[in-house]
A and B are shown apart, each in its own frame.
With several copies, the nearest count.
Chain A
Amino acid sequence: MAVTSARQLDAAALRAQFPIFEQAGGARRLAYLDSSNSSQKPRAVLDAMQTFYETSYANVHRGVYELADRAAAAFEDSREKVRAFVNAGSQREIIYTRNATEALNLVAYAWGLENLGPGDVALVTELEHHSNFVPWQLIAERTGATFAAIPIEGGNHELDLSKLDEIAKRGQIKVLAVGLVNNSLGVVNPVSELAAWAHEQGAICVVDACQAAPHRPIDVQTLGADFVAFTGHKMLGPTGIGVLWGRQELLQSMQPFNVGGGQIRHVSLEKTTWNDLPHKFEAGTPPIVEAIGLGAAIDYLNEVGLESIEDHEVEITEYALGRLGEIFGLTIFGPPLERRGGIISFDLDGVHPHDVAQILGNEGVAVRAGHHCTQPLMKRLGVAATTRASFYLYTLPEEIDRLVDGLHRAKKVFA
């Protein structure tokens, strides 16, 4: 494990700040190993939203009375927190969406419909979540562009970068959509390298940071990408909000996506003009209170420290890789610890993932079974589904032990 100067976090103490873990809920405590699906929320986030509704709620950008002022100020405050969180150059580059999926669709529609055409290539990877795969497939189809995916190599299921040159021959690569950390196997992609390559091709690089933003520091200015998307509910925040960061020049040159509401400068029957960034891309009433919650989540993450969170997850993942490795008949997918997020997908010989997850679930161990919205990857792995355990700042080693116990149980049932 890398030696860093981050102070070590106390997962058990943090856990006490998450109301969901307080429940009696029968005899067993909850072992929540599904954080890459969605995270639980600390009390600070829930309280921030509740208090806002109780004391400062109004629509934003529109009123001149005190509540409206307060609401607008808090809303824009949250945007500043998001800006700082990813070190964006300006708040105007931070766009609130419904979730990460909408953020990625926004780019595909608003940038893609205007910039793709026959002879162009929209390139994704076999590691992409459907939300960073299908939008480009759809827009490529609409515009006549070619759709392609960077394949993985067999061993560690990492991207096979040796195929890039070959892919570049298929046409003018115009966009590369790639995830920072893959959500089903935990593969960490070399995004800066890929972004540089994309730029050499004359392409933009759209990064899906859903599985990175909650877990490790992100700096959009050094990352080298043109768009970065992530989602509130995976990073201790509420549902109903996602974030798109984009380079100002690009956002400015683009047509809007959804239109209406405060997204507009001037409307007439003949012509409509758009509001400034970021509002140009935020049509209708934004997720106001969700933004307040996301801001509180970012405060919380900053207080714990992203480096500390990353270190903790590395530690837990290392422990889990070790303990799972002891189980006979269990195959772990994906790369070694050094190039892996806090996610482990595996196959238990003779037991379908759904059954594994069910037996674990019956024991109070929450994991996910399925294709994890990465069907092209599953196909490459030759499986219909995997069982996946994923970790966060509140994950305890004893939860890993319970996972392992449950897996032994599953083996016994299906023996």
Chain B
Amino acid sequence: MAFDEMYREVILDHYKNPRGHGVIEGADAEADGQNPLCGDEVSIYVQFGADNETIEDVKFRGRGCAISQAATSMLTEMVTGRKATAIAEMPRDELLEEVGIPLSPVRLKCALLGLGVLKVALHRAKGTPLPEEWAGMDELKLT
């Protein structure tokens, strides 16, 4: 794989100018997660709309590689305006298609870190399920 395939413009753009970066004080849902292999960290904050179900605002903070941070940035754009239950069921491929680069198993974990943390946040706030498919993600230690 050529390096430019992996670090294509859109990834670098999201990495350097992350959307939804920040903290929501008193968020309706939040969680932190870590990739134990590399130490990448993501915290996610969610604010629901009036129906208390629709994601009105979502912000994240984190440190990590371009893949993990860019994917989380993309994620915040994708989930805004959607219901918690829909996101809980969102297949990982939906995000991976958006990320749009070939990923080895190790890098896959980077790309999926943010989505895992988001599902944990929703699970804590709404009791939405954490499907088995989220190998590893359902045991994120919440600090």
Contacts and interface: CB of A to CB of B under 8 A. Distances in A.
A and B touch in the complex (CB under 8 A): yes
Interface of A: 61-64, 68-69, 72-73, 76, 90, 92, 252, 262, 264-266, 273, 275-277, 352-355, 358-359, 362-363, 369-371, 375, 378, 384-385, 409, 413-414
B7 A76 contact: no
A15 to B, nearest CB: 26
Interface pairs A-B: 6 shortest CB-CB: A354-B65, A384-B39, A352-B65, A265-B36, A69-B104, A276-B136
Interface in B125-143: 132, 135-136, 139, 141
Contacts of B66: 352, 354-355, 414
A92 B138 CA distance: 12
Contacts of A358: 3, 6, 65, 107
Contact of B7 (A277, A359, A371, A378): A359
Nearest to A69: B104
Interface of B: 1-4, 6-7, 12, 34, 36-41, 63-68, 104-107, 110, 132, 135-136, 139, 141
Contacts of B67: 354-355
Of A63, A68, A265, chain B has the most CB atoms within 10 Å of the CB of A265
B61 to A, nearest CB: 13
B106 A375 contact: no
Contacts of B132: 90
B65 A61 contact: no
Contacts of A385: 38-39
Contact of B105 (A69, A275, A414): A69
B36 A352 contact: no
Of A63, A64, A354, chain B has the most CB atoms within 10 Å of the CB of A354
B102 to A, nearest CB: 11
23 contacts: A61-B106, A64-B106, A68-B106, A69-B105, A72-B105, A73-B105, A266-B36, A276-B139, A352-B64, A352-B65, A352-B66, A353-B65, A354-B40, A354-B110, A358-B65, A359-B3, A362-B3, A371-B38, A384-B63, A385-B39, A409-B3, A413-B4, A414-B7
A414 B69 CA distance: 14
A384 B110 CA distance: 14
A413 B63 contact: no
A173 to B, nearest CB: 31
A396 B14 CA distance: 38
Contacts of A266: 34, 36, 141
Nearest to B34: A266
A188 B64 CA distance: 29
B7 A413 contact: yes
B64 A413 contact: no
B37 A370 contact: yes
Nearest to A413: B7
A264 B106 contact: no
A72 B37 CA distance: 13
Given A62-B106, A276-B135, A370-B38, 5 more contacts: A61-B106, A275-B36, A362-B6, A384-B38, A409-B3
A264 B2 CA distance: 33
Contacts of A90: 132
Nearest to B109: A61
Contacts of A384: 38-41, 63-64
A414 B135 CA distance: 31
B63 A273 contact: no
A92 B136 CA distance: 9
B38 A369 contact: yes
Contacts of A69: 104-106
Contacts of A370: 37-39
Contact of A61 (B3, B7, B37): B37
Contacts of B63: 384
A406 to B, nearest CB: 9
A378 B39 contact: yes
B95 to A, nearest CB: 18
A273 B65 contact: no
